[in-house]
Chain A
Amino acid sequence: MNSTPPTPKTTDAFDRGASGCPTPQRLEAHAADPSAAPEVAGHLAGCGACQALHREISANAEFLREFGPWWRQRDSTHGVILPTDDVPGYRVLEEIFRGGQGVVYKAIQAATKRTVAIKMLAAGGFATPMQRARFEREIEIVGTLRHPNIVTIYESGSLAGGRVGFTMEYVDGRPLDEWIAQQRAEGRDSAARRPAALRGGTLMTLFRATCDAVSYAHQRGVIHRDLKPSNILVDAHHQPHILDFGLAKALGDASQRELTRSGEFMGTIAYAAPEQVRGQHGDVDTRTDVYALGVIAYQMLTGRAPYPTDGPLSTVVRNIIELEPPRPSVLNPRVDGELDTIVLKALSKDPERRYQSAAALLVDVDHYQAGEPLDARRDSLAYVVRKFLRRHRVPAVIAAAFVVVVTVGFFTTLTFWRRAVRERNEARVARVDERRQRQIAEAVNQFLQELFAGADPDSRLGQQATLRDALALAAERLEEGALQSQPDVHAALRLTIGDVFRQLGRFEEAEVHLRRALELRTAQYGSAHRQLVPVLESLARLAADRGAPQAAAESMRRAIEICGAPTAAEDAELLERKGLLAIFLARAGDHAEAAGLFSDALAAARRGRRESETPLVRLASDYGDFLRERGRLLEAEAWLREALALCRGSNTCDEAALCGALTNLGGVLLQSGDAFAARQYFEEVLTIRRAHARADHPGIADAINNLVGTYDALGDSQESAALLRDALEIARSSLGRDHPRVCWFARNLAGQLEKLGRLGESEGLLREIVAANERTYGASDPKTAESLLACAGLLTRQRRLDEAAAMQRRAAVIFRAHQLAENLANAEIAIYQSELAAGRALAAECVLRLGVIDLRRLRGDNHPSVIAALNRLWMRLNDVGRQAEALEGVEYLYELCQPWREDHPAFVANAANNLALVRHRVGDLPSAEPAYRAAIALHERAGTLSGDAIQPRVNLAILLTSLAREEEAALMFERAIGEADRRLPRWEMVRINAICGYLRCLAQLGRHELAEQIGLNEFQRAREAADAPEWVPQLLARSLADVYAEWDRPEERVAWRAIAQACETLPTDGR
C-alpha cells in the first residue's frame, strides 16, 4: 500500500504565468491581506492573467471560510477524505459501518477474490510516524490471533497521506444486541421454560463461544478493553465473531476516549468495569474483559443492563461503582442459582473477586453446561482465606504464598507463568481425586487460620512480619507435631514451605522441608509413586539453583522414571521435565546427553502436536537457549524463530510458552548484537505480562529487566536507569527489600547510575546489596562475596583502590573456601585491575599467575576458564611489551583451545584474534594474516555479531594497510564500520579503531580529502557528544595528524598533534 507523489502539471490554470509574475503563495498572501504583499498590487494592475488568478484565489478563500469549519466540525471519523476505491489490491464495494475510530468498507481482494472488510482509521495525517509504527505493531500482534470466534485481521498498512488501516475477515452478521432483541421479539428462547433447556440452548452456546474467544486472546496477552454487543457480530449459525480485539489499546485507551466524548459515552459505558469508570487505567487487565462478559451475559439472560445506564453521567458511574445488580433469576425465572453465581461473580465490583481470567469463567460455563459443580463456589474458600489474611494485616507476600496452597494444593513451579499453566493441568488431574484435594486444601487453610489467629494481635507475627518469619513459624508448628495425623496435608505444606524458601534463596532451609516432604510421601506411598514427582522436581530445581546441576539432573531423572510410560494427557508435563533435565545436564557439562535428550523430546513433541503445540514450542525454545549458551547463535535463532512461529500460528499454545520463546529469541538477538530486534520481542513480553498480571508482579520486573538489556546495549543509560527504577520498585513492593531478585535489579540499576556519573547513588545501592546478602545468606556466603566484588568495582573506578582491594580480597577468600573457580577468577581479575590501577605492575602480574594456578587446581588443565585466565596473562605481557613471552603463550593457548572449535567457535575465534594480534605486534605479518582470517571465519560460523566479530576485521585491515594492500583494506574497514554502526554504541573502542585505521588507509590511497572530511566530522561529533569518552577525540586527532602528514600539510599535522596531546590519558584496555 504505497503512494506516489503527485506529478507536477504544467498546463494548469494555477501554474505560474510569464516570468516575473508573483508565485501563487504571494498572490494568496495578498488576497488574504493586501498589506502583506504590497508588491503584488502593482503587478496585478498590469497583468490580466494574474488578475484572473487573484479572483479565483479570493473566491476560493471565501468558499473555504464556510466549508473549512463545517468540515472540521464533522464527526472526526470523517476526518479523512477517503476515496473508496484507492486501496490497492482491493475493490471497495460499499461502506458498511462508521464508528468511533473510522469507517469500515466491504471489499473484494483482487488476488484471492475473497470478500473482506477494510477498516480505515481516522487519525490519518495527524498520526506521527511513531504512532503509526505503534499502531502497525499492535495490529501485527493482534493479527496473530486465529480463532473461529475472533474476526481475523489479515494485513495492515499505510495508504497515501499516511492514512492507516487494516483488512479483516468479512462477517455477514448482525451485532449481538440486535440479535438478542430479535431473539426476544421472536420469543425463540421462551419455548425453553426450564433451566435445563437454557443450559444447552443457543444463548449459552453463544456465550460460551464468546468466552472461549476472549480466553484465547488473553492467553496471547491481548485484552479487548472494549467488549460490548456492538463489537460482537452473530452470524446466521448463531456463532459470535468478536471485532476489534486489542485495538482499544492500539488506538488509545477506549474507556478514556469514551469519557471525553460525551456523545458516544452512553453507548458503551454500560460495559465499562468499575476500575475503568474510576479512571484507574493501570488496573485494566484481563479481569476488565471478564466484567464486560458478565454484563453481556446479564443482558443476554435478562434483556437489560445490570444497572440503569440512562440518566446523568455521574449517576451511571455511581451505579457501576456501587449498585449491586439484581440476581438475573429475579428478572428471568428460567435462570437458576448457578447461572446467577456465574454472572454475579463475573460482575463483582472488586476485580479480585471476579473470575481472574476469561479461562476461569469459561471453565465454570463448561461446568454449568455439563451440570457439574462450579469453581465459583469452590473458590470462595480462597477468598475467605485472603480476606482473613488481609484482616489480620499479614503482609501481602505471605498471603500470596499461602493462598496458592489453598487454591491449588501444590506450589511447585518455578515461575508465575508456568504456574498458570500448571494450575490448569492440575485442575484437570485434580478432578479425579478432587475430594481428597479439597480436604487437603481445607486442612491447610485451617492450619493457617490457627497459625495466624494465634499470632494476632500482639504476637510474633505482627505487622512487621516477613515471609521468612511466617514460614519459620509454620515450620516450627509442624516440628511441634501439628498435622502428624494427616501426612498428606503435612507433606503438601512442607513442599510449599520448601519451595518458598527456595525462591527466597534460603536453600538450606528449603532442602530440610523438601526432604521431609519426600520422606512423608515415600512413607505413605512407597518410593515409586507419582506423588513423589512434584517433590523430586522441586528438589531438582533447588539443586539447580544451588549450582549443583548434576544433583538436579539426578532428581529429575528419578522423577521422569517414576512417571514411566505416560498417558497422552501427561505427555506434556513429561516433555517439560525432559526439557528441564536436558537443561540441567547441559549445565553439568554433559552437552552430548543434553543434546540427545532435546532431540528425542523434540521428536516426541512433534508427534504430539495435535494435542497442543505448547510442549514443542517450549522445548524448541529451551533448545534455542541451550544453543545460545554454547555460542551457536544462528542455529539458536532459527530454532527460536520456529518456536515463535509455531506458537503464533496455533491456538493451543499458552502464553507462558509464548513469553519463553519471545524472551529467548530476544536473548539470542541481543547476544548477537542486534539490540533493536531484541527490543521488539522483550517489549512484547512486557505487554503480555502487563496484560496478565497485577501491576506489581515480579514477572513484570523481569520483563523490564530484559528490555533494559537492549537499551544498555545501545548505551542508553538514561532510559535503562529509568526502567530499572520501575523494575526495582515493582520487585521491592512484591518481594521485599532483601530478596535476591530485588538485589539483582538494584545491582543493574547501580551499574547504569554509574554510567550516568551518579556515583553516590550507585555506591549506596551496592552497599545495600551487600548488607541484604549478609542478612539473607551470611557474611561468608558466595552471594555476599559477589556483591562485595560489585561494590569494589565501583570503588576501583573511583580510584579508591585500597578500599576496593580489601573487599576484593575478602571475596576471593570466600570463593576459594567454596572452591568456586570462575567466581574466584573474577575476584582475582578484580584484584589484578586494582593493582594495575595503583601502579603495582608486578603485583598485578602475580595475581594473574595466581589465578591460572587456582583455576588449574579447581578445573584441570583443559578447561575454558583456564584458557581464559592464560589469555589474560599473555595479553597482559603483550600490553607491557613482553612480546616474546606473550607469543609463546598465545600459540600454546590457541593449540589448547582447539577442542572447542565445534562447541565454542566464538571462543576459539577470540584466541585466533589474539594470536594474530601478538604476531602482528612482533612484526610477523605473513603469519598474522591467516590467523585473523581464521578468527573472522570462526566468528561467522558462530554468528557472533558483537564487537568481538568486528575486531579481527579491523585488525586485519590495519595489517593490510601496512602491507600497502590499501584497496583491500579500505573495503574491509568499510564493512567493519558499517557493521559497527548497526550493532554497537557510537563510541565503542572497536568502531573508533576502525575509523582511525580507515583514515590512515584513505590517506595512503591519496584520498586525503575524504579522510579529512570523515575525520573532522567524527571528531566534531565526539567533541559535542556528552557521552564520548576522552580517548575518542584523542585517537581521532592523532589519526587526523597522520592524514595531514601523509598529505604533506605540516602545519595542520603539528596542530592536530597538539590537540591529541591536549586530550587526557588513553584507556588501558586488557585487549
Chain B
Amino acid sequence: MSNAGPTTTSSFLLAALRGSDGDAWREVDRRYRGILVGFARRLGLQDEDADDVAQQTLAQFVRDYQAGRYDRERGRLRAWIIGIARHRIVDLQRQQARRRERQISYDNVEVPDEARLTAFWEEEQRREVFENALRLLREQTRTTPMTLHIFEQVALLGADPQAVAELSQTNVAEVYRIKNRITKRLREIVDELNAAYAEDD
C-alpha cells in the first residue's frame, strides 16, 4: 500500500516553498502544526494560546525561509523551528504578564533548556506520527471495527488472545493473524511517516 502520508522529504519540501508553492505551504502546515501545538501546550500554554503560537511560528517560518534566512548548513530544521516557537511563547508570556489579565501560573513556568526543548519536540513528533498513523490505518486499510478492536485488545492492551477470540466469536489463530497483520501495517505507516521527518535533525 502506498501514499500512507507525507512522502516528500524536508529538502524537497523546502525547495518547493522557495517558489511560493501553495501546496508546499499546506504540507508544512500539515506536517508541523500538530507538533507545534503539542509542544506549546507542554510549555504550559492553554489550548487557544498554543494554537496561536503554532500559527505565528509557521507563518514566521515560511516568511523567514522565503526571505532566505534559513541556512541548512548552519543548523537543523527542527532546531530552527523550535527557536522560532520559543520566541513566540516567551513573547506571549510577557504580554500576558504585562496585562496581568489572568492570575494563571505562567510566571512560574520557565522555558526549559535546549535539551529539554528538543526532547519535547521529539515526543510531540512521535505523538504526531503515531496519531497520524492510527488515523491512516483507519482510513486506508479495509478493516472492520471489530478487527481494529481485536488488534487494540491483543497488541496494545496485552489482552489474552483466547479471551478476545471468545468475546469476538472468532478463533485464536485468527486473533493472532489480525494482530500481526495490523501491527505490520501500522509499523509500515509509521516508517513512512517518520521518513518525512528524517532530514529535520
- Interface segment, one of A12-20, A400-408, A500-508, A724-732: A12-20
Residue B147 interfacial (CB < 8 Å): yes
Segment 135-172 of B: residues with Cβ below 8 Å from A:
137-138, 144-153, 155-159, 161, 167-172
Residue B94 interfacial (CB < 8 Å): no
A133 to chain B, nearest CB (A): 16
- Asked if residues B173 and A16 are in contact (CB atoms below 8 Å), the reply is yes
Segment 14-71 of A: residues with Cβ below 8 Å from B:
14-16, 23-25, 28, 56-57, 59-60, 63-64, 67-68, 70-71
- Asked if residues A125 and B152 are in contact (CB atoms below 8 Å), the reply is yes
- The closest CB in chain A to the CB of B144 belongs to A6
Q: Which of A9, A28, A70, A83 contacts B145 (CB 8 A)?
A: A83
Q: Which of B138, B147, B178 contacts A84 (CB 8 A)?
A: B138
CA distance A24 to B174 in the complex (A): 9
Interface size on B, residues (CB 8 A): 44
Interface centre among A6, A56, A60, A68 (most CB of B within 10 A): A6
Chain B residues, CB < 8 A from A71: 130, 156
Q: Would you give the 0/1 interface string for A828-841, flagging 1 where the beta carbon is closer than 8 Å to chain B?
A: 00000000000000
Chain B residues, CB < 8 A from A84: 138
Segment 269-296 of A: residues with Cβ below 8 Å from B:
none
Segment 66-81 of A: residues with Cβ below 8 Å from B:
67-68, 70-72, 80-81
- Asked if residues B148 and A67 are in contact (CB atoms below 8 Å), the reply is no
- Asked if residues A4 and B146 are in contact (CB atoms below 8 Å), the reply is yes
B46 to chain A, nearest CB (A): 11
- Asked if residues B146 and A23 are in contact (CB atoms below 8 Å), the reply is no
**With A8-B170, A16-B173, A56-B180: A159-B156 Cβ-Cβ less than 8 Å:** no
B135 to chain A, nearest CB (A): 9
- Asked if residues B187 and A59 are in contact (CB atoms below 8 Å), the reply is yes
Residue A484 interfacial (CB < 8 Å): no
CA distance A6 to B145 in the complex (A): 9
Residue B176 interfacial (CB < 8 Å): yes
- Asked if residues B177 and A24 are in contact (CB atoms below 8 Å), the reply is yes
Residue A310 interfacial (CB < 8 Å): yes
- Asked if residues B157 and A6 are in contact (CB atoms below 8 Å), the reply is no
- Asked if residues B148 and A161 are in contact (CB atoms below 8 Å), the reply is yes
**With A5-B168, A8-B170: A67-B186 Cβ-Cβ less than 8 Å:** yes
Chain A residues, CB < 8 A from B170: 5-6, 8
CA distance A84 to B139 in the complex (A): 9
Chain B residues, CB < 8 A from A4: 144, 146
Chain B residues, CB < 8 A from A70: 126-127, 130
Chain A residues, CB < 8 A from B178: 6
- Asked if residues A14 and B146 are in contact (CB atoms below 8 Å), the reply is no
Segment 135-168 of A: residues with Cβ below 8 Å from B:
159-163
Residue B105 interfacial (CB < 8 Å): yes
- Asked if residues B144 and A3 are in contact (CB atoms below 8 Å), the reply is yes
Q: Which of B148, B150, B155, B174 contacts A64 (CB 8 A)?
A: B155
Residue A802 interfacial (CB < 8 Å): no
**With A64-B155, A81-B148: A15-B177 Cβ-Cβ less than 8 Å:** yes
CA distance A230 to B172 in the complex (A): 45
- Asked if residues B105 and A310 are in contact (CB atoms below 8 Å), the reply is yes
**With A24-B173, A64-B156: A160-B183 Cβ-Cβ less than 8 Å:** no
Chain B residues, CB < 8 A from A81: 134, 137-138, 148-149, 151-152
A247 to chain B, nearest CB (A): 23
CA distance A15 to B104 in the complex (A): 57
- The closest CB in chain B to the CB of A53 belongs to B180
Q: Which of A8, A13, A56 contacts B174 (CB 8 A)?
A: A8
CA distance A71 to B155 in the complex (A): 11
**With A64-B183, A67-B130, A67-B190: A23-B173 Cβ-Cβ less than 8 Å:** yes
- Asked if residues B181 and A12 are in contact (CB atoms below 8 Å), the reply is yes
- The closest CB in chain A to the CB of B127 belongs to A70
A221 to chain B, nearest CB (A): 34
CA distance A3 to B158 in the complex (A): 23
Residue B42 interfacial (CB < 8 Å): no
Residue A561 interfacial (CB < 8 Å): no
Chain B residues, CB < 8 A from A59: 184, 187
Q: Which of A13, A16, A23, A161 contacts B181 (CB 8 A)?
A: A13
Chain A residues, CB < 8 A from B103: 310
B44 to chain A, nearest CB (A): 13
CA distance A656 to B121 in the complex (A): 59
- Asked if residues A24 and B146 are in contact (CB atoms below 8 Å), the reply is no
Chain B residues, CB < 8 A from A86: 145
Chain A residues, CB < 8 A from B151: 81
B132 to chain A, nearest CB (A): 13
- Asked if residues A72 and B157 are in contact (CB atoms below 8 Å), the reply is yes
Q: Which of B144, B149, B176, B187 contacts A125 (CB 8 A)?
A: B149
Chain B residues, CB < 8 A from A163: 149
B37 to chain A, nearest CB (A): 13
B184 to chain A, nearest CB (A): 6
- The closest CB in chain B to the CB of A87 belongs to B145
- The closest CB in chain B to the CB of A86 belongs to B145
B161 to chain A, nearest CB (A): 7
- The closest CB in chain B to the CB of A28 belongs to B176
Segment 93-139 of B: residues with Cβ below 8 Å from A:
103-105, 126-127, 130, 134, 137-138
A92 to chain B, nearest CB (A): 11
B99 to chain A, nearest CB (A): 13
Interface centre among B158, B180, B187 (most CB of A within 10 A): B180
CA distance A56 to B147 in the complex (A): 19
Interface centre among B145, B156, B169, B173 (most CB of A within 10 A): B145
A305 to chain B, nearest CB (A): 11
B56 to chain A, nearest CB (A): 21
- Asked if residues A68 and B176 are in contact (CB atoms below 8 Å), the reply is no
Chain B residues, CB < 8 A from A160: 144-146, 149
- Asked if residues B176 and A24 are in contact (CB atoms below 8 Å), the reply is yes
Chain B residues, CB < 8 A from A80: 152
Q: Which of B127, B155, B172, B183 contacts A25 (CB 8 A)?
A: B172
CA distance A292 to B77 in the complex (A): 50
**With A56-B184, A161-B145: A23-B176 Cβ-Cβ less than 8 Å:** yes
CA distance A86 to B139 in the complex (A): 11
Chain B residues, CB < 8 A from A60: 155, 179-180, 183-184, 187
CA distance A83 to B152 in the complex (A): 12
A596 to chain B, nearest CB (A): 58
- The closest CB in chain A to the CB of B159 belongs to A125
Interface centre among A24, A56, A72 (most CB of B within 10 A): A24
CA distance A83 to B184 in the complex (A): 19
Chain B residues, CB < 8 A from A9: 177
CA distance A125 to B179 in the complex (A): 16
CA distance A4 to B169 in the complex (A): 9
Chain A residues, CB < 8 A from B186: 63, 67
Chain A residues, CB < 8 A from B148: 81, 83, 161
- Asked if residues B156 and A6 are in contact (CB atoms below 8 Å), the reply is no
- The closest CB in chain A to the CB of B167 belongs to A162
- The closest CB in chain A to the CB of B171 belongs to A8
The 4 closest A-B pairs by CB, nearest first: A161-B149, A160-B145, A24-B176, A60-B183
Q: Which of A's residues lie within 8 Å of B, judged by CB?
A: 3-6, 8-9, 12-16, 23-25, 28, 56-57, 59-60, 63-64, 67-68, 70-72, 80-81, 83-84, 86, 124-125, 159-163, 310
Instruction: Report 15 cross-chain contacts, Cβ distance below 8 Å, ordered by A residue.
Output: A6-B146, A6-B174, A8-B170, A24-B173, A24-B180, A25-B161, A59-B184, A59-B187, A60-B180, A60-B187, A63-B190, A70-B126, A81-B152, A83-B148, A160-B145
Q: Which of B's residues lie within 8 Å of A, judged by CB?
A: 103-105, 126-127, 130, 134, 137-138, 144-153, 155-159, 161, 167-174, 176-181, 183-184, 186-187, 190
Given known contacts A71-B156, A72-B157, A81-B149, what 9 new A-B pairs fall within 8 Å (CB)?
A: A3-B146, A5-B146, A5-B169, A6-B178, A24-B180, A59-B187, A71-B130, A160-B146, A161-B149
